Chains A and B, each alone.
Chain A
Amino acid sequence: MKVAFYPGCVSRGGCPELYPSAVKVAAELGLELEELTDVGCNGAGVLSREVSDPINARTLAKAEQRGLSTVMTICSTCTGVMGQASIRLREDTRYRERINREFLADEGLEYRGTVGVKHLLWILHEDYGVDRLKSAVKRPLRGLKVSPFYGCYIRRPEAIVEGKPQRKQYLERTIEAVGAEIVDFGGKGRCCGFPILSANETNSMAMVAAHTGDAKGRGADCMVTPCPLCHLNLDGGQPKAEAQKGAPIGLPILHLPQLLGLGLGFSPDDLQLRRHIVATQTVAAKVQLLS
């Protein structure tokens, strides 16, 4: 299966371990990625739709031009923002035509509304197949206790799941598929606090402490997230959240491709687990015992 790959800014910025992990895992699974290198940031819900919709129309048009019908992301926020834009552009022909005319025509581009935006997580379950994933697992992560954490924009608003409520269960199914144990907790679908890191850091850190503390308290060895922005806050913000809470937490946060990669037999170093802020040695040790 061949898809257009939109890695997003953070997978090569604040979370430089994510991009190589995703590329390795995709190659191992036989997912063919054609990276879009000449496209812009989707706006991440910060830029207004006036600016971001034309940028996203351009990205989708570039994928369409290459004859591809899916843009794969590795970020819940990219999925949500580009996904919502793709729905608006697909369903509102007049809006799409106006954007084509005003913003894309002078580059010789036209978006015809044929491209869907999917997170790697969705592709695994809807196109690749969870059974195929299970049979690709070389090192079942037996005994590793993992809490899921989705990130808002891969679950809400309702339109984004496109009539597939099972999308809200894919992380749990993935944890099972790699042979690990699910540690469920109520905060898995809530906000990580990242969007208000600059507006209200206290509330943002309180959210980090609540979610990581809850998962840890339920016995999780680590948490897995398909969103690098959640990762920035839950991992990078955890020391500050601990200080604010006045209690240690110490919960390693894995990117989705890292969890997959461990199951596929890659070493913690291959997946650059050392680059995390919260030490991941406990996870690495547990996994290497399985080798």
Chain B
Amino acid sequence: MLTTFKVHRYDSELGGKPTFQQYAVDLPEDATVLDGLFKIREELDGTLAFRASCNRGFCGECTLRINRGGRLACMTRVAATRTKEGEVTVEPTRFVRVLKDLVYDVDRQLWQKIKAVEPWLQPAAAEPNSEHVIPDAELRPIRNAMKCYYCGLCDEGCSVIPFDNTFLGPTALTKAYRFVADPRDGARAHRLRAVGEPRGMWDCVHCYEADEHCPRGIEPTARILDLREMAVSAGVKSGTTNPQVARHYDSFARSVRTSGWLDEGRLALETWGIRRALDLLPVAWRALRRGKLPIPYRHPKRHGAERIGKIFEKVERRTP
């Protein structure tokens, strides 16, 4: 199977503009993209740089953008991914600092964000003299998250990172979840406050792209939502510099609880407070002119609203 590999070439030590170099590679039908890269390096061009290790989808080292989608090169069959013209384009993932060809600065893109969530156990109690035995049921929720091998594919699929690479991203937030939910950890409130700051979990749009990109079935979006729910239960609904996030949650819950449905006018006012609400005047004026904002503004209770309020009460009674 003769395939044209179009491979990203760049050398940060030499600078200049990145180019795509073409290689015609003859491969067996079942070859992977990583097989193709090895063949290029061994037979056609020894200067091509790329990362790879286990060659069986087990280490997350060969994350690349292949025909414009984030993938593991070792788990991507050439036959299944090549275009009608028989081409495979291989480049680094987006928004990374490229060091050489397909090798990029993983430290900046991933490890620094993971380090920011303090990815080590901070035990609540003194270390036991023997093994710290935990019942299986208590570890079950985090076992799946512990399967993460930091391939970065969830960050590659993230909706926010293309607009703001300072966002912690699903890989680091999943790591934070793993420790917050660990029954041995004693830094829960500290961790929840830290990931609740701007660029943390409240900046996630919960678009579920991460879940579709994760090759390990960890569902990072669902883990971020778990993290948020743990924060709400613990009363840590925002960080120190984004109090509007907590006000938004509280106002939302209050209006559903008391009227059965969402009072958007009240939500905007209570989220932003009166000073910031003045900034919203142009928006309100436009809405008023277009008849989007009724005068007088009314938010009647929905029929059966007291039943919805009762559900809130019961949940609160159950939560310690």
Interface set of A (CB-CB < 8 Å, partner B): 9-10, 13-17, 37-41, 43-51, 54-55, 58, 102-103, 106-107, 152-153, 156-158, 190-191, 193, 195-196, 198-200, 202-203, 206-207, 210, 236, 239-240, 272, 274-277
Contact = CB atoms under 8 A, between A and B. Distances in A.
A179 B265 CA distance: 37
A40 B261 contact: yes
Contacts of B294: 16
Contact of B264 (A14, A156, A158, A206): A14
A103 B317 CA distance: 12
B40 interface: no
A51 B315 contact: yes
Contacts of A207: 159, 163
Contacts of B292: 14-17, 236, 275, 277
A103 B314 contact: yes
B30 interface: no
Interface string B270-294: 0110000000001100110011101
Given A49-B229, A55-B311, A199-B245, A9 B262 contact: yes
A49 B202 CA distance: 17
B167 to A, nearest CB: 8
Question: What 3 A-B pairs come out closest when comparing CB atoms?
Answer: A156-B208, A38-B304, A40-B308
Contacts of A107: 307
Interface of B: 159-160, 163-164, 167, 198-199, 202-209, 211-212, 219, 221-222, 225, 228-229, 232-233, 242, 244-245, 248-249, 252-253, 256, 260-265, 271-272, 282-283, 286-287, 290-292, 294, 302-305, 307-308, 310-312, 314-315, 318-319
Contacts of B260: 39-41
A150 to B, nearest CB: 11
13 contacts: A10-B262, A16-B292, A41-B260, A48-B233, A51-B253, A54-B315, A102-B314, A152-B205, A191-B159, A196-B205, A199-B198, A207-B163, A240-B283
Contacts of B312: 51
Contacts of A153: 208
Given A47-B252, A48-B229, A156 B209 contact: yes
B163 A50 contact: no
A94 to B, nearest CB: 15
B3 to A, nearest CB: 25
Contacts of B203: 196, 199-200, 203
A37 B242 contact: no
Nearest to A48: B229
A44 B203 CA distance: 16
A258 to B, nearest CB: 14
B202 to A, nearest CB: 4
A158 B160 contact: no
Nearest to A43: B256
A157 B212 contact: yes
Contact of B221 (A106, A157, A272): A157
B261 A9 contact: yes
A196 B203 CA distance: 6
B59 to A, nearest CB: 25
A239 to B, nearest CB: 7
Given A107-B307, A206-B164, A207-B163, 7 more contacts: A40-B256, A40-B311, A44-B262, A49-B229, A55-B308, A103-B311, A236-B287
Contact of A47 (B167, B253, B291, B319): B253
A54 to B, nearest CB: 5
The CB with the most chain A CB atoms within 10 A, among B252, B253, B315, is that of B315
A51 B260 CA distance: 12
Contact of B315 (A14, A39, A50, A210): A50
Given A207-B163, A276-B290, A46 B252 contact: yes
A48 B253 CA distance: 10
Nearest to A209: B163
Nearest to B247: A198
B291 A274 contact: yes
Given A51-B311, A207-B163, A196 B202 contact: yes
A271 B225 CA distance: 37
Given A51-B312, A103-B314, A199-B203, A210 B163 contact: yes
A191 B158 CA distance: 10
A231 to B, nearest CB: 11
Contacts of B252: 44, 46-47
Contacts of B315: 50-51, 54
B194 to A, nearest CB: 15
A189 to B, nearest CB: 9
A10 B245 contact: no
B207 A41 contact: no
Given A13-B262, A46-B252, A196-B202, A156 B163 contact: no
Given A156-B208, A274-B291, A40 B302 contact: yes
Contact of A41 (B163, B199, B221, B261): B261
A190 B209 CA distance: 8
Nearest to A206: B163
A97 to B, nearest CB: 16
